[in-house]
Structure 1
Amino acid sequence: MSGLAVGFVSPAWSQTVALPQKFDAALNVATLVDPSADTKALRDFYRERQGQTAWSESRATALLAEIREIAITEGLAPSAYVLPAVDGDVQRDVAVSAALMRFGRDLAIGAVPPERAYGGFGHDTRGHFDALSFLRQLADGKPLAGVSAAAAPGFVGYARLKQALEKTRAMAAAGGWPSLPDGPKMVPGEADDRLPVLRKRLIASGDLAAEYAEGREFDAPVVEAVKRFQTRHGLEADGTIGARTLTNLNVSAESRARQIAVNLERWRWMTRTPGRHHIAVNIPATMLDVVEDGAVVLSMRVVVGDQKHPTPSMNATMNSLVLNPPWSVPPSIANKEILPKLRRDPNYLTTSNLKITEYPMDSPEAAGDGIDWNAIGKKFPYRLRQPPGPDNALGRVKFNLKDSDDIYMHDTNNRRVFGRTYRALSHGCVRLERPIELAEMTLGSRWQGRLDENIAANPTTRTLMLERTLPVYLLYITAWADEDGGIHFRDDLYGHDRRLAPVLEKARQPGQRTATNLSSDRL
């Protein structure tokens, strides 16, 4: 036999050899997140080691201590990786492997499945974590810091948010910031007994320089600090302290740290290959970015679904758009909104340029003439369509999204809404502030500066293919940090943060962390 074969374990042997009975017993009592997949990974790991333990006492102690340090910086809970009570060296070795594997998975793809109820893309969109490779590298002596860094998301946004978490936790540890008492609106230029508290609050969050700590006047430095705070929180930056600004000022530093940790989890759900060119919509921020080679080349405001019609988080693709699109009214809108309006005003179809498709478009019947709307039950019996034109709800351009639950992006005939700070106003689709610019960019250079004129000259409905298929991400991010270190927060528009936080808290308890337990929290 050649000496080169010494110590080599063939894949066939490692898959077929039986583990010593003591390993089987240890695996049966190990705390595992996904018992089926985790047991297989651990079996494969110890088979490759020919049934030998992997961790010396000193190495295990060092790794578990390092997990604690790294977990804190990543927004994970060190308590999830504490070893349970064990009986003997083999059980301890398997428990250490299980804790390392659990930590690697949580860091790589999240501690909780990315359910849509939590602001994820759906349970089956979760990425892959190679537990066997993770354990192999550590068993070969590679530093946990390096192996962990390779497993964690490499996005700039994730790194910035980690820094924001550290900063916010430091604020909380230093006592956080004071709460402002209720009272009338605080207006620039007026004195208020709460001004000293407001100054301390704004200094604590970095919005006001410490040199302006004294005074009962709502002076210029405080006004500018309030505007900075309002901008960071998606509020109207008018410098006054109304109800919404007061509410946001009184959210504690501890609560903001928890909000950041929830959003770090959503970053861990993201695909590691979003595409060199893609579109990202942040639903709570009501903003869209077009990204090319890592740089944002176009940003715009958007309108998203209201709380009764939430825009779902999703990963879709866009490969075509429609010029001068007609609007086919969804049955839910016809039943719940249009039918009650017709009962009050039988001419509503005419004034809204809506047509009943079962009749010829130019006939009186298509406009609802002769129909007793009060005699119709709860279910609207017709299909409605709005022809292209200046009154069309989809505007001049509709962007088709594949595999999107009938959600799409489009222009709108109501441009005033983009001047509002609160823009969760649609039935779920995404309305665009600058649809023509987006269309020209996605169609390619030959359309630059020509699309508006082309649409006006040719009012027919046309479908055009994009220059290339684009990934489109509808994200639910309520906390992020900008390149200057400023931390931004948005309201939990659909309650996804509120639902995810307790599930993450449950994931902090090692003995309760099984795939079945986590799945049962789906809405």
Structure 2
Amino acid sequence: MVFLISGTAFGETSPIVQVSPPVSTVSAAPDDGVGQAIQAVLEPLQSAFPPLLTSRKHQRTDINRVVLDFYSHRNYRAAWTNGRDVTQLFKSLNETAFDGLNPADYRGTELLQAQLAMQASAPTPAQSAAFDIGLTRTYITALLQLRRGKVDPSRLDFHWNFDPVGVDPREDVNSFFVALDDHDVAGAFAKAPPQEAVYRSMREALAQLRQVRDAGGWPKVAEGQSLKPGMDGVAVAQLRARLVAGGYLEPHKSKRSDYDDKVIAAVKKYQVEQYLGADGVAGATTLAALNVPVEARIDQVRVNMERARWLLYKLQGTFVVVDIAGYKVALYRDGQPIWRSRVQVGKPIRSTPVFQSEITYVTFNPTWTVPPTILVKDMLPKIQQNPDYLAANRIRVLDRDGNVLDPATVDWYNARGLTLRQDAGPDNSLGQVAIRFPNDYAIYLHDTPHRELFAKSVRATSSGCIRVENPLQLVELLFNDPARWNSEGIQKQLANGKTENIRLPVRVPVLLAYWTVDLSKEGRVTFKPDVYGYDTPVLQQLNLPSKLPALEIPQAENPLVVTGKGEQ
């Protein structure tokens, strides 16, 4: 079985990427006993590898191939002869906990025990070889998981298509080996995770939440009745204590038990940050959120740090990010947000998929072709109940050849081979513009006549597409042509009433991403409802024990035994 790394377990036939460390001078044979023992272990593995393929989609890396190439290019010389390198590795493995990973996954304890046992008596070349190979395998495994994540997102979501273009795993691995040669193991671990500020904020939040957990967690607030302005009592005192612990109320306010203006303001602030209705009343939903255990919030941060390891390398240059769970969209230029807006996304039963694409054109005055699912589940019942529904909504009926049919001639209880198309206009379901990008799901950004829904805190209200609150502002920024496509030019284009597709001069990447943590204006990490329930499977995979092979140090009198079994 081939040992693969960069996500969770992949099958034996999974595409792999050959990763070759920098080439050094190779002599005919190792010139020392440890090198000969390393060669004796690794050379037989050559025949175990399948044909080398490259997958740009998932960038999977075969860890055994990495180890073999590394040692073969250094003529099988031992890599961990400097004790300080080994010490740095053990310390860095323990510190992976700061990134939400489990240090036990990397078998650091086994390696340390083996080191101590070998220090007690002179190790044989076979023992030193097994120890050296084990250190190298652990080193690369931990660094690649810090760099690209432990969990394979494509295994959790068949929509996943985030191609790490411009991120070559060979460059990553080569940099890891350069750091080892430079005796800067700790530096390699420091540089491996995402370097963006949002990741650092989540790392800091994780440490703070663990401090809260170790101190006994957040104060509980009694549930069972809504807490409202003007009330006084034990439950309000508990509410005050919880708001102080969360940083929403000044510490000296915790001793009182009345629901005054300060509490109202603190509750509203909490509700806004948690995507709850901000009415200043601590009702059932707000109290339930306040009473979520700190352990669950720790896990939520860990899940989103894993997502950051999957995605943050994409956030460069000019791009659009749709934050599905946060119901918002942003346009970035030179890596900085220059425009934001609220959005409506798919209902849980018709969730907006997570994927990447490139915005290629804008449709002005779009018509709307009713998707089959909406036609069958939503529209047919309305047509059957109200024969005038189609006319009232300016929807035409087309046959397979595109001919317009009289709705009165259609058997709406046995409707087959029909297309329903809504004419362009302000009340069109797509509004005035649709922003298009290639995908297999008929998903796009668009205007909407349902503007009243933007006032809601929870905006999972569409059938999958993304409704944008201020789409014309985004269109102007996407064209980035102040002379032709300024606000006046866009209004002129809309005023002619024609349905027209206008290509962008430059394609703009768009990422539909899913995050359940956020950053407040004060830099505090806050939490969103997991509207699609995506956090649980990520957490389950993140918590699975590592399948890194157990370290096997041979007895002095036995031949060297190193297992290749196990997958990561």
TM-score by length of 1: 0.87
Letter in 2 for 1:182: E
Distance 1:238 1:121 in 2: 37
Supply the distance in 2 between the matched residues of 1:245 and 1:451 (Cα, whole angstroms).
46
Distance 1:121 1:271, change over 3 A: farther
CA distance in 2, matches of 1:114, 1:359: 39
Q: 2: distance between equivalents of 1:314 and 1:362?
A: 35
Structure 1 residue 318 and structure 2 residue 359: aligned?
A: yes
Quote the residue 2:455 is aligned against. 419
Structure 2 equivalent of residue 129 of structure 1: 169
Q: What is the SS of the residue equivalent to 2:76?
A: coil
Counterpart for residue 100 of structure 1? 139
Secondary structure of 1:495's aligned partner: coil
Change (3 A) 1:250 1:313: same
2:53 matched to which residue of 1? none
Work out whether residues 120 and 476 of structure 1, in 8 Å CA contact, stay in contact via their aligned partners in 2. no
**CA–CA distance in 2 between the matches of 1:236 and 1:47?**
61
Match of 2:495 among 446, 453, 457: 457
Code of the residue aligned with 2:525 in structure 1: it is I
Question: Which digits, 9 at most, give the CA deviation of each residue in 1:19-47, with x for residues without a partner?
Answer: 84554537999xxxx99711111011111
Matched-pair contact (CA < 8 Å) for 2:248–2:270:
yes
Structure 1 residues 10 and 391: CA distance shift in structure 2, 3 A: closer
Q: Is the 8 A contact 1:27 1:39 kept in 2?
A: no
- Deviation digits for residues 433-472 of structure 1 (CA, Å, limit 9, x no counterpart): 0011111121221222214531452000111122421111
The list of structure 1 runs, each at least 4 consecutive aligned residues, that deviate by more than 3 angstroms after superposition, is 9-29, 83-87, 116-128, 359-363, 507-512, 514-518
Q: Report SS of the residue matched to 1:299.
A: strand
1:116 & 1:57 partners in 2: Cα distance? 39
The match for 1:344 is 385
Report the equivalent of 1:114.
153
Given that residues 96 and 103 in structure 2 are in contact (C-alpha distance below 8 angstroms), is that contact kept between their aligned partners in structure 1? Answer: yes
Say if 2:445 is the partner of 1:409. Answer: yes
Pairwise CA distance, 1:139? 2.8
Q: 1:17 to 1:337 in 2, by over 3 A?
A: farther
Summarize the alignment of residues 140-151 of structure 1 with structure 2, pairs less than 5 Å apart.
140-151=181-192
Find out whether 1:66 has 2:82 as its counterpart: no
Residue type of the alignment partner of 2:247:
G
Residue equivalent to 1:246: 287
Conserved? CA contact 2:345–2:351, under 8 Å: yes
Does structure 1 retain, via aligned residues, the 8 Å contact 2:232–2:257? yes
Instruction: Write the deviation string for residues 325-382 of structure 1: whole angstroms up to 9, x where unpaired.
Output: 111111111112212222222322222221112299996x34x1132323x1xx6431
Q: Secondary structure at the match of 1:450?
A: helix
Q: Is the 8 A contact 1:317 1:403 kept in 2?
A: no
Give the letter for the 1:462 counterpart: E
Distance 1:17 1:460 in 2: 75
Residues 486/215 of structure 1: CA separation in 2 closer, same or farther (3 Å cut): same
Q: How does 1:302-313 map to 2 (within 5 A)?
A: 302-313=343-354
TM-score (norm 2): 0.81
Deviations 1:291-311, CA, capped at 9 Å, x for gaps = 112322111000011101111
Structure 1 residues 36 and 245: alpha-carbon distance in aligned structure 2, compared to 1, 3 A threshold = closer
CA contact (8 A) 1:160 1:482 kept: no
| Candidates 275, 285, 295, aligned match of 2:316 | 275
Residue 95 (structure 2) pairs with residue 44 (structure 1):
no
- Gaps in structure 2 of 5+ consecutive residues: 1-20, 46-58, 115-125, 551-563
Aligned length: 501
The equivalent residue for 2:41 is: 25
1:54 aligns with 2:93: no
> Is 1:431 aligned to residue 470 of structure 2?
no
Q: Deviations over 1:47-91 (max 9, x none)?
A: 122112111373354133322343122222111112457672111
Tell which deviates more after alignment, 460-469 or 385-394: 460-469
Find the partner of 2:220 among 179, 183, 188.
179
CA–CA distance in structure 2, aligned partners of residues 16 and 120 of structure 1: 49
- Alignment equivalent of 2:102, drawn from 70, 77, 83: 77
Cα shift at 1:499 = 0.9
Task: Tell me what 2:117 maps to.
Answer: none
Structure 2 partner of 1:441: 477
Structure 1 alignment gaps of length 5 or more: 1-8, 519-523
| Aligned-partner SS, 2:442 | coil
Cα displacement (A) at 1:152:
1.9
| Matching residue's letter, 2:153 | P
Find the aligned partners of 1:485 and 1:119 in 2 and give their Cα distance: 33
Report the alpha carbon displacement of residue 180 of structure 1 after superposing the two structures with TM. Answer: 1.8
The alignment-based identity, stated in percent, is: 28
Matched with 2:419 is: 383
Whole-angstrom distance in 1 between the partners of 2:353 and 2:422: 25
- Computed over aligned residues only, the root mean square deviation of the Cα atoms, in angstroms, reads 3.1
8 Å Cα contact 1:262/1:500 also seen in 2? yes
